[in-house]
Every structure is written in C-alpha cells, then in structure tokens.
Amino acid sequence: MDGELNSTYIILDGYVELSKYRYVYFFILFTAYILIMCSNLIIVYLICIHKNLQEPMYIFIAALLLNCVLYSTSTYPKVLIDVLSEKQIISYSACLFQFYIFYFVGPSEFFLLAAMAYDRYVSICKPLQYPTIMTNTTVILFLCVAWFVPALHSAIPIMLLNSTKVQLCHFNLKGIFCNNAIYTLQCVRSRSIAIYGVFAVLDVVILPIILIVFSYTKILIISYRSCKEVKKKAAETCLPHLLVLFSLTCLSVYDISIVRVDSDFPKTARVIMTLQIVMYHPLFNPFIYGLKMKEIHKHIKCLFSQDKAILEV
C-alpha cells in the first residue's frame, strides 16, 4: 500500500484561469521568491557578521527568517514549474514532504515568537538579571525546542497519512501546494488524525500564544508604570514581534478553518488567500524587522551605502 501511495499523483487544482494568466502568475511569484530570498538572507547575513547583533533577540530573528527561506524553498520552485507546465501534478510522497515542511515551519515560528517575547520580558522587566538568565545555553535551549517540538509534531501526521489504513478516493487538491487540504483526499476522514490535530493546535499554537500574551501583558504593565525611556524601548522592540504574531495568527486561523468549509469557499478567494500564505508572511518578516529594529536598519543602510559607493567608483 505504501508503494501505491508514493506512486500516486495528485492534481493541484487551485489555480484560477491559469492558461490565461500563466505568465502573470509566474512573474508575480518569481519576483516574490527573489525578494523573499534576498531580503531574508541579507538580514541573516548581517546578524551573523556583526557582533552587536549577536544577541538573543537578533539570533531568534535570524532563526525566524531562516524558517521563511526553508518554507519558500520547499514551495516556490515547484509552484513556478507548475505555472509553466500543462499539468499541475505532484506525487503523493512529494505532497507529504511539502505538508511536513509547512507544518514544521508554522508552529516553529510561534515558538520563536514566544522566545522573543520572553527575551523582551526579561530585558524590560528584569534588566539586572538579563545577562544571567539569557545565556548562550538558554538561547540554544529555546532554539532546540522551537525546532525539535514542531518537527516531531509534524512527523506524526505524516506517518498516519502514509499508513496502510489511509485510502485516497480523491486526487484533485484544491490548492497550489500541499497543506491541510490534503485531508480532503481521503475516502474517510481519519478520527485519530482529527483528534491529534486538535491536540497539536493546543500544544504548538495556543500554548506559545498564551506565553506571548502573558509576557507582553507583563511588559505593558511595567512600561505603563515606568519612565518614557522604558516605554520607548518597549514600543521599539515589541511592536515588530506583535505585528508578525498578528499576521501569522490570521494566516494560521485561515489554514486551520479552510478544510472545515471546503465546499463553500470560492476558488478565487481560496487562491488569493493561498498566495497570501506563500507571499505575505515570508516577505512581511524581513521588512518589518529591517525597518522597525533600529540596529538592523542601521546596518542595512550601511550595507547599501557601501554598495552605492562601490558602484560610483
């Protein structure tokens, strides 16, 4: 049965009038992919080479941006090939791989945002204890949890979906890549996968959000009672994280709910929201952190001013 599933091909039926807008799709997606790779990797590069950016907060930002690179690389090349192809198909095994990366990266970002929130909480609410709390060991521990726990969670539904008990009766996937919609291919929705899905959402999405809300609530209370300098510091460092959290949460709510309203959701609206997932968040992160984080913004300006000076010479 495993061999049969792996050799099965799924039709990606999420595009709207692809034959008419083929090159428009390609231009938009190719441009977005180049921007995503360049913007994310530039900031990661700056964090790696500048010692004043090698602090816990910036290390977590670099990890978050590397997630965007990983996710985009697992999605965009295949989508770009599909846009130029006569048939938009993917093997079931490749579909499961895309599914795994998607549900590894998403929850991982929630954990990284929780680590950032805790870092800001310690920095603003316990500044004297910051060096002893946010040590290199603490940062490595947070990174391991942020990557290992979601990787483990994502592996379990892959094993269930690839088991002999799962049978496929449908081969048209209403999407341009493999996400939650893969469950609609099953002849009978697996109760064990549904139960595990609820547990996973509570564990890797709701729990980090609760920790984030708790941390920022404490920061807000301390900032309200403190001087203007503390309020300014809190606003400058916390606002980008909250903006990223808001966008990630909105897209996650859409992804979780789309399977439950599968038949009623218009195809055009579906492709627009799917493009939001593959484009908006990976592009949003580097621009938010590049513009809102003073130290990163300063190094970006220096980098491009040096490039400009070289070109002029």
Euclidean distance between CA atoms 261 and 186, whole angstroms = 16
CATH topology for the 2-297 domain: Rhopdopsin 7-helix transmembrane proteins (1.20.1070)
d(CA 80, CA 22): 10
Higher-confidence residue of 204 and 228: namely: 204
Q: What is the pLDDT of residues 93-125, one digit of tens each?
A: 888 899 899 889 888 999 999 999 999 889 888
Whole-model pTM: value is: 0.86
Question: Tens digit of pLDDT for each residue in 36-84?
Answer: 999 999 999 999 988 888 889 899 999 999 999 998 998 899 999 999 9
Edge-to-edge strands of the sheet including 172-173? Answer: 89-91, 9-12, 172-173
Q: Are 296 and 289 in contact (CB under 8 A)?
A: yes
Report, as an integer, the average pLDDT of 202-208.
Answer: 88
More confident residue, 12 or 277: 12
Q: Where are the domains of the chain?
A: 2-297
Among 282, 288, 290, CA closest to 79: 282
The tokens describing 95, both together, are: 């579909």
What pLDDT is recorded for position 44? 92
Q: Please tell me the distance from the alpha carbon of residue 256 to that of residue 196, in angstroms, as a whole number.
A: 13
